[in-house]
Amino acid sequence: VFSALSGIYQYIKLSNPTDLTVDFAEFRTVHRFDHALMPKVSNIIRSEATPDVSGRPLIQDTTWQLADGTYWSKYDLCGYIRETPWFGVYGGGFGGWIVSASREYHSAGPLKQELLVHQDSLMLNYFHSTHFGTPNLLVPPGWSKFFGPYLVYINTGSEEEVLADAANQALIEQSQWPYSWVEDEEYPLSRGSVSGRVTGQTKAMVVVYDAVEQQFDLQNLGYLFHAETNEDGTFAIENIRPGSYDVVAYPLAGHGSENLARKSITVEAGGLREVGDLELPEPTGIIWAIGETDRKSDGFRYSHELRNFYWHLVTPKKLQFVVGQSNHSREWYYSQSEGVWQVVYEDQPDNQGRILRLAIAAATGSLIFNVTTAHLQVEVNDFALADFEFDNDKAVYRDALQSGNFFWEKITVPAETVIDGENVLSLRVTRGSIMYDAISLAREAA
């Protein structure tokens, strides 16, 4: 607590001093305000009052149908946590906010989505949860981790003033990170930096993380730092805790959805670690593509709407996309539920096979029908190519419109299945929902 600041800094140290592994699904703080006084919430993307759901039919987990036939859910107010440095509750001349200078201590990766605020004037600081496909936190014996500090900030003014002030306070907190007043051996004040360059596909995300025994986008035991590359592929990430890390790069454009560059490094206090080049080769021989890979469905229809349960109910069960005629922003949708989508394209035999790349941004079961997997069958010209079953990341029915857990599949299309003239790729979802990142077809390398 500082006399000149209207707020309280908090941090949490979590440790396991036992000889047992502890398993839990979520870890959070909850701050509740007077709903009659402060009825509005903001996650930056949307700032609004929450509706009265009392007496309304419950569709599924905290999702209701309102009197006008529309839907409302607490998941409408989720967001990408590493893109949300502040959020909170406001009204009546007051605002209450969580302001985070860093998200290095949260679970998962750059695309981790989380509950932030919801009805009853609640704001939630989730350090770990399984809401959008992140696995349970299995805490091993002797493990410890430092969460925070973050600021619980209180301000006053009109609605516009408290929102603008919260955004400004986030910039102030970021400029002061790491906080010099923290005295704890698990919170190093002297930190290092990492720089380098991504080559090939230079538009990329770079992740630095220390729980290297885990997949970077599902990690929950350690600390994670990230940055997008500059136009020339260069990157620099500051304020990294001293320690051993893996540096991982993945593409945010192009068609190499399977590509992942990785190096192991050590970061020293006060030092700059130059990692050199991280290569993300761009595939050649592309015949056609729907979208470009960035591990999200952005660019497809409905993907940029405000989160709501409604959207996955109105995507078509049957779809035919004609390469060279159809427009992916209008005629390819962010998510496919049970049914068959087809891609129609021209090709001709040349004694070469084809490479079909399917980049999947999310794979979701159905909470209403108790479906715990998503099932996808892939055919070309009625020839069965692949049959995939994915674990439920719970993303689509929890209102996510762009991502959940990411998968990539690189499928060989035999040369004898290529026909002269019209060819048809069929994507059949028999259970759950599939959210596509990008799809492309290329000639197989000679």
User: Which residues on adjacent β-strands are paired with residue 322?
Assistant: 344
What average pLDDT is seen over the chain?
97
Q: Cα–Cα distance between 250 and 281 in angstroms, integer?
A: 11
Same domain, 413 and 384: yes
Same domain, 434 and 417: yes
Q: How many domains does the chain have?
A: 3
Please confirm whether the linkage preceding 57 is cis (ω < 30° from 0). no
Burial (0-12, 13-18, 19+ Cβ within 10 Å), 183: exposed
Q: Cα–Cα distance between 415 and 278 in angstroms, integer?
A: 33
> Tell me, what CATH number does 246's domain have?
2.60.40.1120
Render pLDDT for 95-115 as a digit per residue (tens, 0 to 9). 999 999 999 999 999 999 999
Confidence of residue 446 (pLDDT cuts 50, 70, 90): low
Same domain, 29 and 53: yes
Q: Cα–Cα distance between 110 and 118 in angstroms, integer?
A: 22
Q: Are strands 421-443 and 63-65 parallel, antiparallel or unpaired?
A: unpaired
Render pLDDT for 15-64 as a digit per residue (tens, 0 to 9). 999 999 999 999 999 999 999 999 999 999 999 999 999 999 999 989 99
Residue of 400, 354, 402, 401 lying closest to 380 (CA atoms) = 354
Residue 26 lies in domain: 7-176
Whether the CB-CB separation of 251 and 201 falls below 8 Å is answered with: yes
Same domain, 71 and 118: yes
Domain end position, chosen among 141, 176, 211 = 176
Whether the CB-CB separation of 412 and 345 falls below 8 Å is answered with: no
Same domain, 357 and 434: yes
Same domain, 145 and 128: yes
Confidence of residue 445 (pLDDT cuts 50, 70, 90): confident
Q: Identify whether 151 is part of a domain.
A: yes
Residue 176 DSSP label: T
Domain end position, chosen among 119, 150, 176 = 176
Domain end position, chosen among 176, 211, 227 = 176
Same domain, 123 and 34: yes
pLDDT at residue number 352: 96
Residue 75 DSSP label: G
Residue 132 has pLDDT above 80, yes or no: yes
Residue 368 has pLDDT above 90, yes or no: no
Whether the CB-CB separation of 390 and 374 falls below 8 Å is answered with: yes
Please confirm whether the linkage preceding 281 is cis (ω < 30° from 0). no
Render pLDDT for 220-254 as a digit per residue (tens, 0 to 9). 999 999 999 999 999 999 999 999 999 999 999 99
Region 342-356: mean pLDDT is 97
Comparing 217-226, 230-239, 359-368, 422-431, the range with the smallest average pLDDT is 359-368
Residue 369 has pLDDT above 80, yes or no: no
Same domain, 168 and 219: no
Same domain, 379 and 271: no
Same domain, 255 and 326: no
Q: Identify whether 186 is part of a domain.
A: no
Q: Identify whether 323 is part of a domain.
A: yes
Same domain, 69 and 135: yes
Residue of 71, 18, 27 lying closest to 308 (CA atoms) = 71
* First-to-last C-alpha distance (Å) of the chain: 67
pTM of the model as a whole: 0.96
* Phi, psi for residue 361 in degrees, rounded to 5: -85, -25
Render pLDDT for 391-405 as a digit per residue (tens, 0 to 9). 999 999 999 999 999
Residue 402 DSSP label: S
Task: Spell out where 175-260 has E strands.
Answer: 192-200, 204-209, 224-228, 234-240, 243-251
Render pLDDT for 198-225 as a digit per residue (tens, 0 to 9). 999 999 999 999 999 999 999 999 999 9
Whether the CB-CB separation of 202 and 229 falls below 8 Å is answered with: yes
Q: Identify whether 2 is part of a domain.
A: no
pLDDT at residue number 371: 82
Q: Identify whether 45 is part of a domain.
A: yes
Same domain, 81 and 147: yes
Confidence of residue 366 (pLDDT cuts 50, 70, 90): confident
Q: Identify whether 400 is part of a domain.
A: yes
Residue of 250, 274, 275 lying closest to 263 (CA atoms) = 275
